[in-house]
Structures are given as structure tokens and as C-alpha cells.
Copies of this chain bind each other. A is one copy, B any other.
Amino acid sequence: MKARVFVTLKNGVLDPQGKAIGNALHNLGFASVGDVRQGKVIEIELGESDSTRAKAQLKDMCEKLLANTVIEKYEIELR
């Protein structure tokens, strides 16, 4: 089973990298670009066929290693 985990900064947290990308896009002429946020995506192959158990494991991984839950939020997508 394949999974994708998105880790992004929480909404209130300043994201200078996202801001930099937004400014660069504006400078390149993409005027319609509004807010930009950058995060991480982690693609994991799991040897687990039960989706409920897979989700529970992934949540555990996020809490323990993948995300810093003080400033980051995560989202899990099974595929």
C-alpha cells in the first residue's frame, strides 16, 4: 500500500519560504498568484494491506517523527 503524508506549517505560523516563492512568481509575471505556502510531502510504501491499520500506523509516524506538531500539521492520503 502506498501513502502520502503532507506536512505543512500551521496557518498562524510564518512561512518565509512560501513567501519567497510567491514573490518570485510575481516577479516572473504571474500576477494572479495569491498566498503561497510550502510544505513537505513524504511518499511511503507500506507492507500493510488493511487501510485502517495503515492509517493508524501513519498517524503514529507523523506524531513521532514526520511532523513537529507544535508548528506543523499533517494530512494522510492512502492510495
The answer to whether A38 touches B36 (Cβ under 8 A) is no
Give bound CA distance, A34 to B24, whole Å. 36
Contacts of A36 in B (CB 8 A): 42-45
Complex Cα–Cα for A65 and B23 (A): 11
**0/1 string, A29-40, CB within 8 A of B gives 1:** 010111111111
The contact of A45 among B34, B38, B60, B64, by CB within 8 Å, is: B34
B8 and A61 contacting across the interface, CB-CB below 8 Å: no
A42, B21: Cβ atoms under 8 Å?
A: yes
The interface residues of chain B lying within 8 Å CB-to-CB of A37 are: 42-43
Complex-state Cα separation, A39 to B39, whole angstroms: 9
